[in-house]
Chains A and B, each alone.
Chain A
Amino acid sequence: MEAIMTLEAVKKVYGKGDTLVHALDGVDLTIFEGEVVVLLGPSGSGKSTMLNVMSGLDRIDSGTITFQNEITSAMSDAQLTKLRRDKIGFIFQSYNLLPNLTITENVEVGRYIANDKLDIDQILKSVEMYDHRKKFPFQLSGGQQQRISIARALAKNPQLMFCDEPTGALDENTGKKVLEVLQKVNKEYGTTLIIVTHNPGIAAMANRVIRMNSGKIVEHYENDTPIAASEVQWA
């Protein structure tokens, strides 16, 4: 497998003086194409900062981040915007759907700026939401809304998808359904997934698990036999 993203000695510091926080403290990591990577850690461990700097939402203080052999940590804002536009998708804990747009239109928001546009109906079928396509977000459950959020991220056929606590606001059943959809996306579209979560049970469905604490990677292992999302032990 080829590396899709590499982090070398990445540091990120917030505050100064007594309030100085080493959010990332010399992180080295390589993500490979098609992987499902789960990023675990307690609050304040640095996993959200890690997601921000990997996705180009935030800048690092030192080190290097490379995406497909391009150093993203040296890119301008406009270049980062283009990178996110063309190659990266996002899924948020709070879904962030646009309430006045229908489901189809919400997915179109992701598709509109893509170079490699996928068919909306096909995507909605993939996330099993095709029958709801004419509804508005408030007419859907939380799990259904998150599946639309996945469809929106998928609509531009990204190579890398960042999922920030995708099941954080969901119960076990709907959470597992969302994980099943993510697993399906990974398999059908070959999209690399980086899932940030509190839930250690989700680690069992990943190819690789990274545990963070105090801005450092404290555990890093590969999982040769990832389980199906439906079998995840919910914590």
Chain B
Amino acid sequence: MIRLFLNTLRSLKNHKMQTFGLMILVIVSTLLYAMMTYSNDVIYVGSDTYFQEQNQEDFSFVPSINLTQTQVEEILSDYDIPVTELIATDNISNLFTTYKVDMTPYLTQQAQSLADEHNFSIEPRVQKMFTDTVNDVDYHFLALKTNEQINKSYVVEGRLPEQDNEVTMNEPFLNANGLSIGDEYEINGKTYTITGSVYDVDQVFPIVSLDSPLYMADRDAILHFTNTEFDRIEAQAQTMYSAVFNDESNIQAQYDALVADDEVKTFEYIISIDENPRTSILESRAEMSAVMSTIMLAFLSGITAIMVALTIRRQINNEKEQIGVLKALGYRRSEIMASYFVYAVVIGFGGAIIGYWIGYGLAFPVSDILRSMINMPAFDIHPLMDRTVIGMFGPMVIIGIVTWFVSFIALRHAPIWLLSPGSDTHVNGLARLIDKLNLSFKNQFRYSLASRGYGRLFMVFFGAFLSGVLINFAFLLMTMIEDVTSNAFGAASYNSQVQYTQAYELPNERVGESDEPITVAKVDFDGYTSESSFLQSIDASQSSIELTGLRPETTLNRLLDSSGRDITEKVSEGVVINSFVESGFGIEVGDVVKAVTDNGKTIELEVVGVTHAFNGNYAYTDIETVNALLGYNSTAFNAVQSLDDKTNLKNEAGVASVMSLTDLVENMTQLNQQMTMMLGIFTGFAAGLGLVMIALVSNFSVDDNRKVISLLKVMGYNKKEVSSIALNIYTPVVFLAYVVSIPAALQVVTVVTQLIGQEIGVGLPVRLSWPFVGLGLVIVLVVYYISIKMAQRALNKVSLQEALKK
């Protein structure tokens, strides 16, 4: 028996490249499995404990302003607000914002009253957002007042500030900027000493700047100062209330009860931690990552098993007579079969050990990259028994099963059949078909060689197809990201948009030469709901639509449809929605929507067009229509779009917000670059996978055609001609596989984006980019030709005497 094992081992040794290629596949599969699962663990395994120990909120809220007569009089008096303005305004919040009224005491009083009534504890979460520009680079800062009870800060290293010239920063910002504890850092002209590296449980996927809501670890920092220093920072303080239920049992039921009877609008804003997309994304990412890594392991091991099956089948064919002798001597089929399990042990187990531990080692640096994107601390992990068993033995088991199956079938013949000399007693159908085609002799010859092994043909097809699908998958996603980011704001050409706390009449000093007035209203489209939206997933705002009133002749915010046609003037005829609203709310052109404002004013509008933009939930109509809806005069406006950078107006009285389109575009471009880089790596992986598979099959092809190759060499065919005939025989198969992979990838991406779309409430544009399709073909063909070059070595080794063997 031991001799049989040695024979198979020698076979592996004699076919080093094939053995190496098969092991590479196993190594990659287990490496990815271990890397993905453990890097996942670094982030998620301790997250429950982390959230619990830092006392993460059950929900957060802002109570509605519900002032008593006395409190209103007190505010008017304290802030010198004329009663006439109180009478004129339709939005008391805006009025108070204009006069920078500190509502905190009143809100806290109301929040506390709610907490007492519903048996939960609260703590104000006070934050300030500001931007500091250094060397023309905007750094965004989110300063948090340090909490004592709920959402407590997690100090990774160092300590919280004790002096007014001290600051802590979140770890990703420190790492991305090469900063350490003890370093000095200048913020708004003041130098601080960094005393700690800190995480906050309510700042997963943080939004550090509303101008640039996508989190960038190198530009966005979360800071803690002393309370006195925090108060000194010149930025608008925003307060919401973090809450935990005092009764820890059945929190969801308590929360449901709390929001169920909110008819009286107790809450201006409320969201539970489970409803918070930032948290749910974290959980779904963990689940998806675990599922993906296991699928990847099974998938790649399956491919390896198919390749091993081909190899074993070939070995059994080559050793047909030897097996016949063994059987004639009395060896049982099971005894002969057992020797082939060397493949499972050497390739499956050997490769898995290497891949698993490399993957485990890589999990830590990979998790650092992931953590920097979601702002989560690292947790200690250790190899887990179940995972180690799956990772290290899974490939061996899969390959073992395939080995058993293939050898069981192949070894079924009687000794007399095995001992009889083989002869080519038939020509397969494909060869006959090729013979009927009117091909040149060279092509006829090479394709007839290719047709000799259906298994090889299938694997080349599968390898090229798989590479094609993965490459096109990456390219389709790149195209989608590019489309979304480059079309995020459609044809808008303004630099910034200033939103005022109240309406003004034209002419007005706020509208300069490079400005255009607009009127913006937050509305719901009655009857249309979106579970969530893209904007929600990044800022957790309510699912409402920003109805923007434009002048049809606007030059700063032209609306183009998906074919590039200018449809701006249609705002006079009804409402133009953007692509997000179209897909997220399921609204179509021709629908009549009823826009409802916060205070119940309504208007019915027909949807007259869809502008190809992905900037959130936006709809556009004539400015006079929005003015009428809000009860303004026809010449009113409450916002301005400008060619100038107006971010300096942020803290001015009467300014509710300033949105910098330039910042947002830059933000999205950065994200685009990151995603493109990751997809580029993915493309490389796909190409590598195809390379290994096709190189293996090319190698098999040389092995199976040794006699033909030798014959050609003996006859005087030179190396190039032999290679062209014996190796370069799968080009049409590779080409066909790639062509078929395009619709397959398109289908996969469509399904994936539909699933994502359902999750985040938007329809993402999926389209083929022909330059990318061409590039994919080039990559697959290059992979194919590299594979051929790799097999060329084996071809050169085929001796001339091979043809002379009797």
Which A residues are within 8 Å of any B CB, using their own CB? 48, 52, 55, 57-58, 78, 81-86, 88, 90, 92-94, 96, 98-102, 105, 108-110, 112-113, 136-138, 156, 164-165, 168
CB distance from B422 to the nearest CB of A (A): 11
Q: Which residues of the partner chain A approach B425 to less than 8 Å between Cβ atoms?
A: 138
Q: Which residues of the partner chain A approach B426 to less than 8 Å between Cβ atoms?
A: 138
Determine the distance from Cα of A83 to Cα of B716 in the docked complex, in whole angstroms: 7
Interchain residue pairs with CB less than 8 A apart (10): A52-B800, A84-B715, A85-B718, A98-B445, A99-B452, A100-B448, A105-B448, A113-B715, A138-B424, A138-B425
- Determine if A58 and B424 form an interchain contact, defined as CB atoms under 8 angstroms apart: no
Given A105-B445, A138-B425, A100 contacting B431 (CB threshold 8 A): yes
Selecting from B325-333, B387-395, B647-655, B705-713, the interface stretch reads B705-713
- Determine if A101 and B444 form an interchain contact, defined as CB atoms under 8 angstroms apart: yes
Q: Which residue of A lies closest to B710 (CB)?
A: A96
Determine the distance from Cα of A156 to Cα of B715 in the docked complex, in whole angstroms: 10
B88 interface hit (Cβ, 8 Å): no
Q: Which residues of the partner chain A approach B427 to less than 8 Å between Cβ atoms?
A: 99-100, 136, 138
- Determine if B716 and A113 form an interchain contact, defined as CB atoms under 8 angstroms apart: yes
Given A81-B713, A100-B431, A94 contacting B444 (CB threshold 8 A): no
- Determine if A85 and B715 form an interchain contact, defined as CB atoms under 8 angstroms apart: yes
Identify which of residues 654-700 in chain B touch chain A, using a CB-to-CB cut-off of 8 Å. Answer: none
CB distance from B125 to the nearest CB of A (A): 76
Determine the distance from Cα of A84 to Cα of B710 in the docked complex, in whole angstroms: 13
Which B residues are within 8 Å of any A CB, using their own CB? 423-428, 431, 434-435, 441-442, 444-445, 448-449, 451-452, 707-708, 711-718, 721, 800-801, 803-806
- Determine if A90 and B800 form an interchain contact, defined as CB atoms under 8 angstroms apart: no
Given A52-B801, A92-B803, A99-B427, A81 contacting B444 (CB threshold 8 A): no
Determine the distance from Cα of A99 to Cα of B707 in the docked complex, in whole angstroms: 12
Q: Which residues of the partner chain A approach B445 to less than 8 Å between Cβ atoms?
A: 98, 101, 105, 108-109, 112
Determine the distance from Cα of A83 to Cα of B713 in the docked complex, in whole angstroms: 12
Q: Which residues of the partner chain B approach A52 to less than 8 Å between Cβ atoms?
A: 800-801, 804
Determine the distance from Cα of A68 to Cα of B265 in the docked complex, in whole angstroms: 108
- Determine if A99 and B424 form an interchain contact, defined as CB atoms under 8 angstroms apart: yes
- Determine if B806 and A168 form an interchain contact, defined as CB atoms under 8 angstroms apart: yes
Q: Which residues of the partner chain A approach B423 to less than 8 Å between Cβ atoms?
A: 138
- Determine if A105 and B441 form an interchain contact, defined as CB atoms under 8 angstroms apart: yes
Q: Which residues of the partner chain A approach B431 to less than 8 Å between Cβ atoms?
A: 100
Which residue of A57, A98, A99, A138 is within 8 Å of B801 (Cβ)?
A57
Q: Which residues of the partner chain B approach A102 to less than 8 Å between Cβ atoms?
A: 435
Q: Which residue of A lies closest to B434 (CB)?
A: A100
- Determine if B803 and A113 form an interchain contact, defined as CB atoms under 8 angstroms apart: no
Given A48-B804, A85-B716, A108-B441, A96 contacting B711 (CB threshold 8 A): yes
Which residue of B715, B718, B721 is within 8 Å of A110 (Cβ)?
B715
Which residue of A86, A92, A110 is within 8 Å of B804 (Cβ)?
A92
Which residue of A58, A86, A96, A105 is within 8 Å of B716 (Cβ)?
A86
Determine the distance from Cα of A90 to Cα of B448 in the docked complex, in whole angstroms: 22
Q: Which residues of the partner chain A approach B800 to less than 8 Å between Cβ atoms?
A: 52, 57-58
Enumerate the 10 nearest inter-chain pairs by beta-carbon distance, A residue then B residue, closest first.
A85-B716, A99-B424, A84-B716, A100-B448, A100-B431, A57-B800, A136-B427, A96-B711, A108-B441, A138-B425
Determine the distance from Cα of A163 to Cα of B715 in the docked complex, in whole angstroms: 13
Q: Counting chain B CB atoms within 10 Å of each CB, which of A48, A98, A105 scores highest?
A: A98
Determine the distance from Cα of A137 to Cα of B426 in the docked complex, in whole angstroms: 9
Q: Which residue of B lies closest to A134 (CB)?
A: B435
Given A57-B804, A100-B449, A108-B441, A113 contacting B714 (CB threshold 8 A): no
Determine the distance from Cα of A98 to Cα of B715 in the docked complex, in whole angstroms: 14
Determine the distance from Cα of A102 to Cα of B427 in the docked complex, in whole angstroms: 10
Determine the distance from Cα of A85 to Cα of B423 in the docked complex, in whole angstroms: 28
CB distance from B267 to the nearest CB of A (A): 78
Q: Which residues of the partner chain B approach A136 to less than 8 Å between Cβ atoms?
A: 427
Determine the distance from Cα of A81 to Cα of B715 in the docked complex, in whole angstroms: 8
Q: Counting chain B CB atoms within 10 Å of each CB, which of A94, A100, A110 scores highest?
A: A100
Determine the distance from Cα of A52 to Cα of B451 in the docked complex, in whole angstroms: 32
- Determine if B714 and A57 form an interchain contact, defined as CB atoms under 8 angstroms apart: yes
CB distance from A150 to the nearest CB of B (A): 13
Q: Which residues of the partner chain A approach B806 to less than 8 Å between Cβ atoms?
A: 93-94, 165, 168
- Determine if A112 and B424 form an interchain contact, defined as CB atoms under 8 angstroms apart: no
Q: Which residues of the partner chain A approach B708 to less than 8 Å between Cβ atoms?
A: 98
CB distance from B711 to the nearest CB of A (A): 5
Q: Which residues of the partner chain B approach A112 to less than 8 Å between Cβ atoms?
A: 441-442, 445
Given A92-B803, A92-B804, A138-B427, A100 contacting B713 (CB threshold 8 A): no
Q: Which residues of the partner chain A approach B711 to less than 8 Å between Cβ atoms?
A: 96
Determine the distance from Cα of A110 to Cα of B445 in the docked complex, in whole angstroms: 12
Determine the distance from Cα of A87 to Cα of B805 in the docked complex, in whole angstroms: 22
Q: Which residues of the partner chain B approach A93 to less than 8 Å between Cβ atoms?
A: 806
- Determine if A58 and B801 form an interchain contact, defined as CB atoms under 8 angstroms apart: yes
CB distance from B792 to the nearest CB of A (A): 15
Q: Which residues of the partner chain A approach B804 to less than 8 Å between Cβ atoms?
A: 48, 52, 57, 92, 164
Q: Which residue of B lies closest to A169 (CB)?
A: B806
Determine the distance from Cα of A94 to Cα of B714 in the docked complex, in whole angstroms: 14
Determine the distance from Cα of A86 to Cα of B716 in the docked complex, in whole angstroms: 8
Q: Which residues of the partner chain B approach A55 to less than 8 Å between Cβ atoms?
A: 714
- Determine if A100 and B451 form an interchain contact, defined as CB atoms under 8 angstroms apart: yes
Q: Which residues of the partner chain B approach A113 to less than 8 Å between Cβ atoms?
A: 715-717, 721
- Determine if B444 and A105 form an interchain contact, defined as CB atoms under 8 angstroms apart: yes
Given A102-B435, A138-B424, A84 contacting B444 (CB threshold 8 A): no
Determine the distance from Cα of A99 to Cα of B435 in the docked complex, in whole angstroms: 12
Q: Which residues of the partner chain A approach B803 to less than 8 Å between Cβ atoms?
A: 90, 92, 96
Q: Which residues of the partner chain B approach A168 to less than 8 Å between Cβ atoms?
A: 806
Q: Which residue of B lies closest to A155 (CB)?
A: B715
* Known interface pairs A96-B803, A98-B445, A99-B427; 20 further A-B residue pairs with C-beta atoms within 8 A, sorted by A's residue number: A52-B800, A81-B716, A81-B718, A85-B717, A90-B715, A94-B805, A96-B707, A96-B711, A99-B424, A100-B448, A100-B449, A101-B448, A105-B444, A108-B445, A109-B715, A113-B716, A138-B425, A138-B426, A165-B806, A168-B806
Q: Which residues of the partner chain B approach A138 to less than 8 Å between Cβ atoms?
A: 423-427
CB distance from B724 to the nearest CB of A (A): 12
CB distance from B62 to the nearest CB of A (A): 78
CB distance from B719 to the nearest CB of A (A): 8
Q: Which residue of A lies closest to B424 (CB)?
A: A99
- Determine if B449 and A88 form an interchain contact, defined as CB atoms under 8 angstroms apart: no
Q: Which residues of the partner chain A approach B441 to less than 8 Å between Cβ atoms?
A: 105, 108, 112
- Determine if B805 and A98 form an interchain contact, defined as CB atoms under 8 angstroms apart: no
CB distance from A107 to the nearest CB of B (A): 10
Q: Which residues of the partner chain B approach A90 to less than 8 Å between Cβ atoms?
A: 714-715, 803
Q: Which residues of the partner chain A approach B801 to less than 8 Å between Cβ atoms?
A: 52, 57-58
CB distance from B299 to the nearest CB of A (A): 34
Q: Which residues of the partner chain A approach B449 to less than 8 Å between Cβ atoms?
A: 98, 100
Q: Which residues of the partner chain B approach A84 to less than 8 Å between Cβ atoms?
A: 714-716
Q: Which residues of the partner chain A approach B715 to less than 8 Å between Cβ atoms?
A: 84-85, 90, 109-110, 113
Determine the distance from Cα of A77 to Cα of B385 in the docked complex, in whole angstroms: 58
Q: Which residues of the partner chain A approach B805 to less than 8 Å between Cβ atoms?
A: 94
Q: Which residues of the partner chain B approach A101 to less than 8 Å between Cβ atoms?
A: 435, 444-445, 448
Q: Which residue of B lies closest to A90 (CB)?
A: B714
CB distance from A70 to the nearest CB of B (A): 15
- Determine if B721 and A137 form an interchain contact, defined as CB atoms under 8 angstroms apart: no
CB distance from B435 to the nearest CB of A (A): 6
CB distance from A5 to the nearest CB of B (A): 17
- Determine if B714 and A78 form an interchain contact, defined as CB atoms under 8 angstroms apart: no
Q: Which residues of the partner chain B approach A156 to less than 8 Å between Cβ atoms?
A: 716
CB distance from A162 to the nearest CB of B (A): 9
Q: Which residue of A lies closest to B444 (CB)?
A: A105
Q: Which residue of B lies closest to A56 (CB)?
A: B800
Q: Which residue of A lies closest to B452 (CB)?
A: A100
- Determine if B444 and A78 form an interchain contact, defined as CB atoms under 8 angstroms apart: no
Determine the distance from Cα of A193 to Cα of B721 in the docked complex, in whole angstroms: 27
Q: Counting chain B CB atoms within 10 Å of each CB, which of A52, A57, A83 scores highest?
A: A57
Q: Which residues of the partner chain A approach B434 to less than 8 Å between Cβ atoms?
A: 100
Q: Which residue of A lies closest to B805 (CB)?
A: A94
Determine the distance from Cα of A100 to Cα of B804 in the docked complex, in whole angstroms: 20
